[in-house]
Structure 1
Amino acid sequence: MNHFTKQHTFWLVLIFTFMLTACQSAPIVKHVSGPIFDDEAFPSAKHISIESEKDIFRLDKEARTYVQQTVGHIQDPIERTETLARSIFKRLNFDLLYRGDANTTANETFHNRAANCLSLSIMTYALANEADLSVRFQDIQIPEYWTRREGVSLLNGHINLQIIPQARSTNSFYLYKRGYQIDFDPQTQKKHFPRKILSKNQVIAMFYNNKGADALINNERDLAYAYFSAALKVEPNFDSALVNLGFLYRVSKLFDLAERVYLIALASSPDNLTAWENLAYLYAYSNKPEQSAEILARVESKRLRNPYYHLDLGRRDYDSGDLQQALAHFNRALAIDKTRHEIFFALAKTYFALGEVAETERYLKKAKRTAKNMQEKELYQGKLDLLSRS
């Protein structure tokens, strides 16, 4: 069963999941060295044009004019920051379709009606820079969280922005330490997850990683290799890109390279469960069942208190037609976290497949109540309307 990771907002890492319950001690990561790229295995990759840093953050005349008309007349840095933020959210609320696979540059996001959180953050970063505001990216340390796309599990990360107002004149001094958080997922604000500052290069690597993961989902292996390589040339220790590159090598039967990049990822991020899981799958595929089982048991034990883990297992049971087992996993997820609309919707969808209309309606209403934005609430209301007419 395919499991990808996508950086939030988004990065994708491909993983396979096994079910074991024994608890084992943490495996020791052995040190490895050597090249991690194999350009000869993906000969078309060298002809692929990859977006540059300038391409990713560029704004055209229309976008720059939008900034000037919105805040160009405002001198107070706090007011300028607040006005720009309000304007961006107002524009998005009226004209945005959220799409997880919409990995677009700042300028494309400004003009398109579809975006994901990473592309929105990149666009907002560029707009804030155009407004002479100090802005930086933050990595939000959320629990492992999966979504599904085209039968593939996507492991999501999340980033947001911090804008710190600063005076426009070099002769003035303005101090405002707190800054403003701009986050396109309000749930992360409520949970107060830990966060760390990201460099611009790290965000560029995330952008490349997302593009590579989308290519890999579409089985465009040379394109995926081009993007994963670009990500790792910008950020050599980016574990998500390393794991995705390892997956690409595994499906391309480059097993030694796959193991090397997994171990390199784990050397820098020893708690990366996705990397461990991919390594375990590789060992199972390479006829090393004992090593595989030891790793998988440890991964399983660490994930049992994560509601999204049970949600993902339930979704895969649903896809395979095992509706009762799907319900069991969804109810385990709900027992851990009763605030996520995705869990209620998963229960509603499963009960609908079982023909239980009353339970379907009950959980759809709960999904609507816990949804975090109007787009999702309207989606659930639409399903309720259809249900009432059936």
Structure 2
Amino acid sequence: MALPAFLGLALALASSLGCTPYFDPSTRTVRSEISAHGLDPDQVLVPFQLTPEMRSWVHGVVPDHLPPDQRAQALLEALVQLDGLNLQYKPDVTGTAAEVFETRQANCLAFTHLFIAMARAIGLNAYFLQVEDIETFAQEGDLVINAGHITAGTGPSTAPRVLDFSDRTDIVYRNVRKISDLRAIALFYSNRGAERIRRHDPEAALPWLETATRLDPHLADGWVNLGVVLRRLGDTEGAEAAYRRALEEDPHKAAAYHNLAALYRHIGREDLVQPLLEAADQAKNRNPFTYLRLGDINLMRGNLDAAERFYRRAAQLDPELAAAWAALGDWAARSGKERAARRWLHHAQRLDADDSRAAALARRLGEAGS
């Protein structure tokens, strides 16, 4: 799928960033920071570096005489239009800027690597932004992999113009925060590790996530994903420590609560499970899988009203999550509401014909062959 046309740069709210001065470190500065974290800079992949070919290309497509805003717009158009790079969206691969330029494929973070590298090459004040109110979750067995949303900003950091990945010109990002280049590198390593988790290759994921947490020990997402890998590799003590470190860095990190609860369930400490999930419920939680598990616990205990509330919250957080609708169907079936149960079952099946909860509900309702 092609990236949507970028019709403009959205102006973010200045109040969301404060007055932090612009930080544009040279390669030497980044290497120095990497060394300060006990890593060899020559062994760390910096994802927003340009090759000579890329530098030549960007100077050829963006006129030097344009004012900064117009140069930023010209760069965006050159990257996505048919007569430019014509980049294609590929969600599961976090590439470096050079890889994106070579393959013409990018997810949001990879696109940001390329844009920032090229924007800086043409003299723009470009930097990484974390969108705090956008967060994605993926389930790996009973565990949750966590990822935030990263984009790029240009201009003054007190009132940045933010990369707009839609065809709307009225978007205002309400909760964005400028992050350092070093954190952006750590997020790249964390994403690469998460991709290998999803490919069921924890051994390959481990070095990426160990590097992520060494580059930025305050990156809660990195600790969450490292905990997932350690759990998959059988190191329950290491996994517990990683989840608890994630919560030290971000007490609102719902995925850490969820995964820690799953770990305690795995080792037979059921007494610790519900308190953790309830803590996640109080932690500005946008993770639908936490609410599914809370619904399951209450359904098992016969608390039908609470189960319904949690399942509806899961469906509200992710309307495309088939498991949430199948869970509502299960609740309805147990509540004697067979018509509603079948309606939600069919909705879940339309979203994901292979969903395991939907399959179990179909068997319960005598629709196993549907």
Measured in 2, the distance between the counterparts of 1:92 and 1:121 equals: 20
**Does the aligned pair in 2 maintain the 1:145–1:308 contact within 8 Å?**
no
**Does the aligned pair in 1 maintain the 2:143–2:228 contact within 8 Å?**
no
The 1:268–1:149 alpha-carbon spacing in structure 2 relative to 1, beyond 3 Å, is closer
AA partner of residue 221 (structure 1): P
- Aligned residue for 2:225? 244
Instruction: Please give the per-residue CA displacement for 1:327-368, whole angstroms capped at 9, x wherever unaligned.
Output: 99xxxxxxxxxxxxxxxxx95962896xxxxxxxxxxxxxxx
- Is 1:296 matched with 2:287? no
- Aligned residue for 1:159? 150
- Aligned residue for 1:115? 106
Measured in 2, the distance between the counterparts of 1:162 and 1:352 equals: 36
Measured in 2, the distance between the counterparts of 1:327 and 1:100 equals: 35
**Does the aligned pair in 2 maintain the 1:143–1:306 contact within 8 Å?**
no
> How far off its partner does 1:269 sit?
0.5
- Aligned residue for 2:208? 227
Measured in 1, the distance between the counterparts of 2:70 and 2:90 equals: 31
Instruction: Please give the per-residue CA displacement for 1:263-318, whole angstroms capped at 9, x wherever unaligned.
Output: 11101101111001111111111221111121123435655556564536x42367
- Aligned residue for 2:350? 350
Instruction: Please give the per-residue CA displacement for 1:27-47, whole angstroms capped at 9, x wherever unaligned.
Output: xxxxxxxxxxxxxxxxxxxxx
Instruction: Please give the per-residue CA displacement for 1:223-254, whole angstroms capped at 9, x wherever unaligned.
Output: 21110011111101211111111111112221
- Is 1:77 matched with 2:45? no
Measured in 2, the distance between the counterparts of 1:294 and 1:244 equals: 22
AA partner of residue 57 (structure 1): F
Which structure carries more relative contact order (alpha carbon 8 Å, separation 6+)?
Answer: 1
> How far off its partner does 1:78 sit?
3.5
Measured in 2, the distance between the counterparts of 1:188 and 1:347 equals: 33
Aligned residues: 275
- Is 1:184 matched with 2:171? no
1:268 aligns with one of 249, 273, 296: 249
* Percent identity between the two aligned chains: 25
The 1:78–1:252 alpha-carbon spacing in structure 2 relative to 1, beyond 3 Å, is closer
> How far off its partner does 1:127 sit?
0.6
Measured in 1, the distance between the counterparts of 2:272 and 2:328 equals: 32
- Aligned residue for 2:117? 126
The 1:158–1:323 alpha-carbon spacing in structure 2 relative to 1, beyond 3 Å, is same
| Gaps in structure 2 of 5+ consecutive residues | 1-41, 287-309, 334-345, 354-370
List aligned pairs for 1:363-382, cutoff 5 A: none
**Does the aligned pair in 1 maintain the 2:78–2:85 contact within 8 Å?**
no
2:319 aligns with one of 311, 314, 329: 311
- Is 1:254 matched with 2:235? yes
- After TM superposition, the score normalised by the length of structure 2 is 0.63
- Aligned residue for 2:127? 136
The 1:249–1:148 alpha-carbon spacing in structure 2 relative to 1, beyond 3 Å, is closer
> How far off its partner does 1:115 sit?
1.1
**Does the aligned pair in 2 maintain the 1:317–1:325 contact within 8 Å?**
no
Measured in 2, the distance between the counterparts of 1:73 and 1:123 equals: 19
**Does the aligned pair in 2 maintain the 1:146–1:308 contact within 8 Å?**
no
- After TM superposition, the score normalised by the length of structure 1 is 0.60
Instruction: Please give the per-residue CA displacement for 1:119-150, whole angstroms capped at 9, x wherever unaligned.
Output: 00000000101111111111001254446799
- Aligned residue for 1:217? 198
Measured in 2, the distance between the counterparts of 1:209 and 1:67 equals: 28
Measured in 1, the distance between the counterparts of 2:60 and 2:332 equals: 52
The 1:78–1:298 alpha-carbon spacing in structure 2 relative to 1, beyond 3 Å, is closer
1:52 aligns with one of 42, 45, 54: 45
AA partner of residue 136 (structure 1): Y
- Aligned residue for 1:106? 97
Measured in 1, the distance between the counterparts of 2:317 and 2:207 equals: 31
AA partner of residue 251 (structure 1): R
Measured in 1, the distance between the counterparts of 2:245 and 2:106 equals: 32
Measured in 2, the distance between the counterparts of 1:253 and 1:184 equals: 40
Measured in 1, the distance between the counterparts of 2:332 and 2:182 equals: 42
- Is 1:95 matched with 2:86? yes
Measured in 2, the distance between the counterparts of 1:185 and 1:102 equals: 20
Measured in 2, the distance between the counterparts of 1:78 and 1:322 equals: 48
The 1:134–1:94 alpha-carbon spacing in structure 2 relative to 1, beyond 3 Å, is closer
| Gaps in structure 1 of 5+ consecutive residues | 1-48, 166-175, 329-345, 354-390
